[in-house]
């Protein structure tokens, strides 16, 4: 995977490849690696084959073409092992039911762990439980059967609603296991980044975004983006079964496993407070936005005293005006201020996407005692309201550095999310308007 054609021109990639190789060699010398045992469980591979599985991970990393043959041989081995394990379990259960004391002497006994349970994948355990429950299901009454189906339906609905959270939580828990391969690779990335770009930034004392600075920043972005892409492919391969299982519950068309995995991996890349990665990305983004920020700041100051009706006369008698409130939409302004605290580009993006929700919450809270007004709010909360309202909130926040956050999002969040989510497109349109674009063209562009 590391040696594929698409990576050949990525800056520092040979050094990165060597570092990853050393990380895998180091892991190969370890025993009872918890993350690896967990990963094997999820792919129906016996925990006693840890070195073999790591060899497959290594083969996957360095030779993507071996993937199919590895996967096929792995699946056939898994199927045989599952069948043998389940047959053995049934034999043991039968022996136990006869009161036999000699079950531990069986030559085909399933290996026991410290909890005196078979050391096999959890799904097999679930299948064994299913065998135990089969007789109960056959003997249940019509009313019990109806209740069981109703319970299953409720569980299914609940699963569909929480699939995003479950996938995010499950993957994050696995990837934060001590000495995880992904974490070791991120450490390799951080060392190379620190050695290469921190020294360039500190020694050259870059103070303007000239052609040389642009070239360095482009290299930085390519290195980060390709590292995340590589890690995403590796995570998708290792946790393929887990992802496929939980993907079925994702019912939001704007979300997919790729988004969730990328968000987690960018958190890994930028989260270390001792790493210079985010600081340097932020400083380069700031340099790139320097001229725009001066213009943006001036625009914010000029419009600071504007009222909502100055952006659209319909707000004079609108339920969105929040008449009599000293600081209307202060919660939205606070949310805008909090965006810069997020180091993960995907969390910055999500914060901006949620600004519309924050605006709606302010209006609903203000009219909480007026049922007629509440009934009108959602029906009238269209683009002709959202755009001027968000412009007003950005102006009131007086946060010109929002342009830096915007630049970081554009640099790292995949364009398919930027171009398909209406609330983010509305935000981008507001920025363009405050930088001098006329209102009519902004409004027509945001409604396309």
Mean pLDDT of each 10-residue bin along the chain, 448 residues long: 73 86 76 67 44 53 43 47 42 46 40 38 36 52 65 47 74 86 90 86 79 92 94 87 72 71 94 84 94 94 90 83 86 95 95 94 89 84 90 95 97 90 92 81 54
Cα distance between residue 418 and residue 196, in whole Å: 30
Q: Which fold has domain 293-446?
A: Glutathione S-transferase Yfyf (Class Pi); Chain A, domain 2 (1.20.1050)
Look up the pTM and report it: 0.73
| Residue spans in the chain of domains classed CATH 1.20.1050.80 | 293-446
* 268, 188 contact by CB (below 8 A): no
Residue 1, pLDDT score: 63
Predicted local distance difference test score (pLDDT) of residue 286: 95
Note the pLDDT of residue 288: 95
pLDDT of 63: 45
User: How far is residue 231 from each of residues 47, 162, 247, 298, 407, measured CA to CA in Å?
Assistant: 23, 25, 19, 42, 23
CA gap 279, 64 in Å, rounded: 34
Asked whether 12 and 195 are in contact (CB, 8 A), the reply is no
Kindly give the residue spans of alpha helices, DSSP state H, lying in 272-354: 277-288, 290-302, 308-311, 330-338, 345-353
Rounded Cα distance between 341 and 357, Å, is 20
| pLDDT for residue 157 | 41
- Closest C-alpha to 223, from 164, 284, 171, 274: 284
What confidence score (pLDDT) does residue 32 get? 58
What's the rounded Cα separation, in Å, for the pair 383 and 326?
25
CB 1 within 8 A of CB 230: yes
């Amino acid at each position: 995977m590391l040696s594929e054609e698409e990576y050949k021109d990525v800056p520092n990639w040979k050094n990165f490849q060597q570092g990853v190789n050393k990380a895998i060699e180091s892991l190969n010398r370890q025993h009872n690696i918890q993350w690896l045992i967990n990963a094997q469980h999820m792919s129906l591979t016996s925990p006693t084959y840890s070195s073999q599985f790591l060899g497959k991970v290594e083969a996957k990393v360095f030779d993507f073409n071996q993937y199919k043959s590895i996967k096929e041989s792995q699946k056939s081995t898994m199927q045989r092992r599952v069948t043998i394990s389940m047959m053995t379990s049934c034999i043991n259960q039968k022996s136990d039911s006869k009161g036999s004391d000699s079950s531990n002497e069986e030559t085909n006994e399933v290996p026991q762990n410290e909890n005196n349970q078979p050391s096999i994948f959890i799904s097999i355990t679930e299948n064994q439980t299913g065998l135990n429950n089969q007789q109960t299901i056959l003997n249940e009454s019509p009313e019990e059967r109806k209740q069981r189906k109703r319970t299953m339906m409720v569980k299914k609905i609940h699963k569909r609603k929480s699939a995003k959270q479950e996938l995010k939580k499950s993957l994050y828990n696995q990837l934060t296991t001590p000495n995880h391969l992904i974490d070791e690779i991120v450490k390799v990335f951080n060392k190379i980044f620190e050695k290469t770009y921190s020294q360039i930034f500190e020694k050259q004392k870059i103070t303007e975004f000239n052609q040389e600075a642009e070239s360095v920043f482009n290299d930085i972005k390519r290195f980060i983006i390709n590292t995340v892409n590589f890690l995403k492919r590796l995570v998708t391969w290792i946790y393929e079964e887990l992802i496929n299982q939980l993907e079925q519950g994702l019912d939001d068309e704007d979300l997919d496993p790729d988004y969730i995995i990328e968000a987690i991996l960018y958190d890994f890349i930028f989260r270390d407070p001792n790493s210079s990665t985010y600081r340097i990305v932020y400083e380069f983004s700031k340099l790139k936005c320097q001229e725009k920020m001066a213009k943006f700041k001036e625009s914010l100051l000029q419009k600071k005293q504007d009222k909502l009706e100055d952006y659209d006369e319909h707000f004079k008698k609108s339920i969105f005006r929040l008449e009599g409130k000293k600081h209307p939409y202060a919660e939205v302004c606070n949310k805008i201020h909090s965006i810069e605290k997020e180091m993960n580009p995907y969390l910055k993006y999500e914060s901006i996407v949620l600004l519309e929700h924050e605006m709606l919450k302010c209006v609903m809270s203000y009219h909480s005692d007026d049922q007629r007004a509440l009934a009108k709010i959602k029906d009238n909360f269209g683009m002709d309201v959202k755009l001027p309202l968000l412009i007003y909130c950005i102006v009131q926040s007086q946060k010109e550095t929002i342009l830096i956050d915007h630049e970081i999002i554009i640099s790292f969040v995949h364009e398919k999310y930027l171009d398909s989510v209406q609330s983010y497109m509305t935000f981008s349109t507001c920025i363009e308007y405050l930088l001098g674009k006329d209102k009519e063209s902004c409004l027509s562009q945001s409604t396309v």
